[in-house]
Amino acid sequence: MATCRLGGTSHARCATRSSSVKRVIAMAATAQQTSQPLVSLNKIDAKRLPFPPHQPLEGCEKGSFAEATITKRLPSILAGMIKDLEASILPGLGADAKAEAQQALAALAALRQGQLDNIVLPDVVAPGGAAAAAANPALAPAIAATNEALTLWRKRVPNATWLNLPWLLIECAMYVEVAARLAAPSARLAGARIDPFAVQKAAAWAKSATAAAELAAEACRVLQRVRAQGLRGDVLKQECYAVMQYSLWGNKTDLSLLVDASAVNPVSSVGDAQGSGAGHPFVIVDEYDGAWKVLASGPPGRVDIVLDNAGLELFGDLVLADFLVESGLATEVVMHGKPFAWFVSDVVQHDFADTLAAAAPGSPAPASLPDPAAWGAVRELGARWAQHMASGKWKYTDHTFWVTPSPFCWMEAQAPDLYRALQSSRLVILKGDLNYRKLTSDCRWPTTTPFSTSLMGFEPAPLLALRTLKADVVAGLVPGQAEKLTKIDAEWLVNGRFGMLQFHKPTA
C-alpha cells in the first residue's frame, strides 16, 4: 500500500474513509503522467529562443545569493538527501540491489564533490535499461533538453563551471542529474518515482499542522459567508483577495531554502500585511485588480495553477482552487505539478494524492497537532476536494517542460502542446520563486522594468504571479522603491519577507 506521507499513516489504515474517497485518492495518485516529447532546441530557430538581455544570476558574483546557493546550499541539500536515502532505502534491499543503490548514491556524492570543486559541468548521462526508461517517461526528454541547454550556454560561457554558468541552468541540471542517477539501479530504485526528499517534506508538513488547521477553519468561514450572503461585487472581490494571499504567503515554505515550516502561518501573514493600515507593507507589488477583472468578467471558465511547493503551500493552493470553484469564479481548476522530484519541495504526483489523503474524512489528525479536534475543518475541506476531483472540476497534471532549465519564453517553441493548453485558460496563476525566475529569464532586469517586458513574449493567457521574494530577480517596481526597500531590509530580495502579486494580460 502506498503511504500517505503527509498524514503519517497508510491508506490501508484509513478504514473509515468511504470507497468514493479512496477512489479519488487513487485517481490523484495515478493522475496524468505521460511522455510529452519536447521539440529539440537544436531544431528551433534561434530567434524563438531569446537569451536574457541582462546579466543572468550567476555564482561567480562574489557575495551574491547565487554564490551562496551553489557553494553551500546545494551541496548541503545533496548531503542531506544521500543521508536520508541511506537510512530509508538501503536497509530494505538485497545484496545485489543494495550494491546498485550504493553505486547510485556514490554518483550523487561525486556530483556534490564536483560542486564543491567548481568543475566544468558535464552533460547529464541518461540511465540505461528499459525499467529506468519506463519508470518515468518524462526523464529522457528532460535529460535531452537539459543537455541541449547546456550546449547552448557553453557557446556563451567558455569556462562553463558550476559558478560560471547561469544559476537557474545549473540548479535545474542538478535535479535532473539526481533523477537520472536514481533511475539507474534496479527496479526497486528505478525511476524518479522515488522521491528522495520525502523525509524532509513529511517533517515540514508535521510542523505545519497547526497552521493548516487554522487555514482550513478560516477557509470554511469564508465559504460560509459567500454561500450565506450570496456575495458578489466588491465584497466577493475582497474575499477572493484574502484567499489569494493565503496561497501567496504559503510560498514562504520552500525546503530548498531550508525554511522552518513551523514558523510560517499564511493566516497570520495576511494579518501582518493588512494590519498596519499602510497599504499592505509586505506586498510590494499588488496587481490583483487586473486578475480580478478577468475572473469577474464574462462567464466563468478554466483557471490553471502552476504549483510550487508541497505541504502547507499546496494546502493553501487547494484552498484557493476550492474557493474559485465554490464561489462560481471558475468552472474548472487545472493544477500543474512536476513529473519527478524537483527543487526539494516542489509538488509531484504523490504529494498531491497524499494531501487529499491527509484531508480526507476519517483521516487521523497529525500527532504534532495540539488539539486533534482542530483537524475537523481540514476534513470538511477534504470531503469537498474529493468531490471536485471526482466531478472533474479539479484536475492534476504534469509536463516535462516544467523540469527543464528553459525560461517560459521558450515554451511556445519547445513545448507547443503545453502552451496551447494554457491558451485555453481564463487565468494562469504561477506560484513561487522558481516559476518567477523562469518567467523573467532569471536575469538582472533593472527593477523598474515593466513586468510585461520581463516576460519576453510569454503570454498564452492572462497571468498572475504569486511570489514571496527568495531570489534577487525582480521587475515591475516603481522608481525609488528598490532603494527604499534596501534601507528597510538589506535582504529584502531573498529572505521571503516580501510578496508580490503581478499581473499581465496578453496584448493581442
- The C-alpha cell at 186 is 534496479
What number of other Cβ atoms are within 10 A of residue 140's Cβ? 18
- CB–CB of 439/451 below 8 Å? no
CATH architecture of the domain with residue range 198-504:
3-Layer(aba) Sandwich (3.40)
- CB–CB of 199/133 below 8 Å? no
CATH fold match for the domains 39-183 and 198-504: no
- pLDDT score, position 277: 29
Residue type for position 61: E
DSSP single-letter state for residue 127: P
Three-class secondary structure of residue 507 per DSSP = coil
- pLDDT score, position 157: 95
- CB–CB of 180/340 below 8 Å? no
- pLDDT score, position 7: 34
What number of other Cβ atoms are within 10 A of residue 95's Cβ? 7
Residue-level pLDDT, tens digit, the chain, 508 residues? 233 333 333 333 344 456 666 666 666 656 655 557 899 999 999 999 999 999 999 999 999 999 999 999 999 999 999 999 898 888 878 888 888 888 889 999 999 999 999 999 999 988 876 666 677 889 999 999 999 999 999 999 989 999 999 999 999 999 999 999 888 765 455 433 578 999 899 999 999 999 999 999 999 999 998 887 776 778 899 999 999 999 999 876 554 444 444 444 555 554 444 332 234 679 999 999 999 999 999 899 999 999 999 999 999 999 999 999 999 999 999 999 999 999 999 999 999 999 999 999 999 999 999 999 999 999 999 999 999 999 999 999 999 999 999 999 999 999 999 999 999 999 999 999 999 999 999 999 999 999 999 999 999 999 999 999 999 999 999 999 999 999 999 999 999 999 999 999 998 6
CATH classification number, 39-183, choose in 1.20.930.60, 3.40.50.740, 3.40.50.300, 2.40.50.140: 1.20.930.60
Say if strands 394-398 and 427-431 run parallel, antiparallel, or are unpaired. unpaired
Report how far Cα 389 is from the mean position of its chain's Cα atoms. 20
Nearest CA among 456, 476, 467 for reference residue 433: 467
- The C-alpha cell at 397 is 497534471
Full-model pTM: 0.91
Give all strands (DSSP E) within 307-365, no chain letters: 330-337
Domain boundaries, the chain: 39-183, 198-504
Distance CA 180, CA 55 (A): 30
